[in-house]
Amino acid sequence: MTEYSERADYSERLLERPVGKESPGRIRFVWLIVIPLIAVLSQVYVPRFVWFLSYLELPLLITVHFALHRRSPIAAVFYGMSIGLVQDSLSHQPIGMFGIVKTLVGYFAASVSMRFDVENPVVTFILSFFFYFFHQFFYWVLTRALLGEVVNFDAQQTLVFGLLNAAVALPLFRILDKLKVAA
Amino acid sequence: MDFFLSRYRNITVLLIVIVGQLLLIAYQVKSNRDVPLVRVWAVTAVTPVEQALEVVRTYTWGFVEDYFVLLGVKGENDRLKRENGDLKMENHYLKAELSTADRARALSVFQAQTQSKTVAARVIGNGTGANSKVVFVDRGSASGVESGMAVVTPDGIVGKVVDAYPTASLVMLITDPTFAAGVVSQKNHVRGTLKGQGHSECLVDYVQNEERVDPGEMFFTSGDDRIFPRGFPVGAANAVRNGKTFKEIYIAPSGMQGGVEDVLIVLEGVHQQIPEGESASAGYKILQPAPADTNTAAPSDPAGTLVTDADRLKAQYKQAGQDQNHVFGEGVPGSKPPDFTKIPGIRAATPTPAPGGAQQPGNAAGKPGQPTMPVQNGLQNGAVSAPPKPATPTAAPPAADAPKPKPKPTAPILVTDPADADPDAVVPTAPKSTAAPPGPAQAPVQPPVQPKPAAPKPQQPPNQ
């Protein structure tokens, strides 16, 4: 066995052994469908009456929660892609913009979940804030690069909204954890 | 290969998914086509829920409010409280109905007045995306709505349809950063392009700094974008300042004041006139027209209808003719013309020939005693009465027996037709016996011929 293959086996074992606690259970399949739909629907309907809730990115938080707790990059990739495509369908942008961004968010969140204790509220807060900023920034990059639209990126505002979304993520993740059933 | 796929399975799946979506975006952007199937599925799944939620909210919110209002009611006042609650509920219901009826009436009035064919719609939801400003309305392709149609309210334009689904449509508001429309200002008629900014104000771009736009000036659609018919209000200019090349004009959309609830989708647009505003030169004070100068008016025209010097002079000549019992246009050829030297204020013509320059053919012939018509104020002789024929340049042909003079290639001069000078004057035709056959020099333009000793003298008609 060469040195390279030994190192690869070591890395593989390291990846397969999550650092955080074992997930207490999995969410039922029906909730995996219903919860994103509720999130997208609330993003469409609620801001009509409470305008400041338009900056609440519930579909992103759902994606992050799923990826952090499922710890499967492939499943998170497809889950994020599905939610993103539904979001794209309800916008006037070409289909795939939100899909790509949430695909990456799901992949990276699932990858990160293997190295951190995602049950820790501080870690959850930081990760939610980070992925919100990553989501908004990467969406802005895609808009400029792929569509050629000149859209301003307000970093300060995005940071504030990131903090608000992270604050919402803490109780939301607790509620979603209640839906889990024992594996 | 198997090792590679198992070793890099996650990243491989990620790359495949990313590349697939990139290809999907590239296809849409390159071909400018949409993927309607996915959108129809999503919209069809979401919008019915939205409509149901809207109905539930509309019909239950009053009940919930009244429930909280009546929560602390004592028992002995139940009947009164229930009655009170019923009245409040009815009041809320009627207020909502009244508000709805007002909006519906305003829409219907506007719908009846405008020449464009429209269909009413209600906003049922917002689009996704933090930066985008899009809403869903409850009218779709089943109602005849198509992409690109204008969306307006009686107060102004709201947006345009970007996607039409069977039961709903996606409307891009004019505050969306990617929105653009052609506009024109009401007062100064300055054209520009309306652009959304992502917030409550819109920018009118591409207006040169040299153009004049006043703060508060209304903008209307210009119809140049082929989406919005001309003449729909857009909004008033809140701020106007000069930029590097173009002005920075920020306007508040008049159609979105107080939110967007009920809208009209323009199915068939008809251009309208832009209402006239104030004068473009409002900063200048324009005086009233000056009153007629009664001192200079002719005595024969006390009404003051004679407005030019030529009219007054003509009236004086007519008056002189009437004083001397002369009727213009009825005298036989050669009859005595009226004596215009008796007109007060008119300088009497001197019988001496004009010194130098081109002379009248009659005077050029050196005939003494030939009456010289008064030439004043540019009035040609022969323009007032019937003068002796040789006196007019056009009636000065050489004698029949005289050698025909060769026309000189001189510069043409102005020859006045007496009939053109005074419509009331009738120029008698020259007697054929005295008129020589037209020679080659009888062209419409006669060169000024200097008097020559051998030149034939024009035959003078007998002086009456």
Instruction: Look at residue B87 and tell me if it is in a domain.
Output: yes
Please report the pLDDT score of residue A78 as a whole number. Answer: 94
B181 shares its domain with B101 = yes
pLDDT confidence of residue B110: 76
> Which residues form the domain of B20?
2-33
User: Does residue B56 belong to any structural domain of this protein?
Assistant: yes
Which residue stretches of chain B have pLDDT < 50? 278-286, 296-303, 348-464
Whether B72 and B26 map to the same domain: the answer is no
Contact B17 A81 (CB under 8 A): yes
- Same domain, residue pair B142 and B162: yes
Question: Are A90 and B9 a contacting pair at CB < 8 A?
Answer: no
Q: Where residue A60 falls among pLDDT bands split at 50, 70, 90?
A: very high
Q: Of the candidates B17, B49, B163, which has its C-beta nearest A92's C-beta? A: B163
Residue B320 lies in a domain: no
> What proportion of chain A, given as a percentage, has pLDDT over 70?
85
Residues B14 and B93 in one domain: no
Q: Which chain B residues are closer than 8 Å to A73 by Cβ?
A: 10, 13-14
Q: CB under 8 Å to B141, separation ≥6 — which residues?
A: B164, B165, B166, B169
Q: What is the pLDDT of residues B24-83, one digit of tens each?
A: 888 888 887 777 777 888 888 888 888 888 888 777 776 776 666 666 556 666 777 777
- Could you tell me which residues of chain B have a Cβ less than 8 Å from any Cβ in chain A? 7, 9-10, 13-14, 17-18, 21-22, 24-26, 28-29, 34-35, 38-39, 41-43, 45-46, 49-50, 53, 123, 125-132, 134, 136, 162-163, 170, 172, 177-178, 198
SS3 readout for chain A: CCHHHHHHHHHHHHHHCCCCCCCCEEECHHHHHHHHHHHHHHHHHHHHCCHHHHHCCHHHHHHHHHHHHHCCHHHHHHHHHHHHHHHHHCCCCCCCHHHHHHHHHHHHHHHHHCCCCCCCHHHHHHHHHHHHHHHHHHHHHHHHHHCCCCCCCCHHHHHHHHHHHHHHHHHHHHHHHHCEEEC
Among A45, A91, A107, the residue with its CB nearest the CB of B50 is A45
The helix or strand, by DSSP H or E, that contains position B184, with its residue range, turns out to be strand B180-185
Q: Which of B277, B311, B344 is the last residue of a domain?
A: B277
Please indicate, yes or no, if residue B26 is contained in any of the structural domains: yes
Q: Are residues B134 and B114 in the same domain?
A: yes
Nearest CA in chain B to A96: B21
- In this structure, are B26 and B39 located in the same domain? no
Residues B77 and B22 in one domain: no
Please give the pLDDT value at position B65. Answer: 65
Q: Does ipTM top 0.90? A: no
The answer to whether B355 touches B448, Cβ cutoff 8 Å, is no
Q: Indicate whether B413 belongs to any domain.
A: no
Check CB contact under 8 Å for B128 and A98: yes
Residues with Cβ within 8 Å of residue A18, at least 6 apart in sequence? A71, A113, A114, A115
Predicted local distance difference test score (pLDDT) of residue B7: 75
Are B79 and B218 within one domain?
Answer: yes
Q: Which residues in chain A have Cβ-Cβ distances shorter than 8 Å to B18?
A: 100, 103-104
Contact between chains at A93 and B129 (C-beta distance less than 8 A): yes
Would residue B215 count as lying in a domain?
yes
Identify residue B79 by its one-letter amino acid code: R
User: Same structural domain for residues B182 and B79?
Assistant: yes
Quick one: B126 and B265 in the same domain? yes
Would you call B130 and A55 a contact, using CB atoms and an 8 Å cutoff?
yes
The answer on B39 and B24 residing in a single domain is no
Same domain, residue pair B122 and B179 = yes
Question: Are B21 and A99 in contact (CB < 8 Å)?
Answer: yes
Q: Tell me whether residue B446 is in a domain.
A: no
Digit-coded pLDDT (tens) for B111-144: 777 778 888 898 888 887 766 789 999 999 999 9
Number of domains in chain B: 2
Q: How far is A172 from chain B (nearest CA, A)?
A: 20
pTM here?
0.48
Residues ≥6 apart with Cβ < 8 Å to B29? A94, A146, A147
In this structure, what DSSP letter does residue B455 have?
A: S
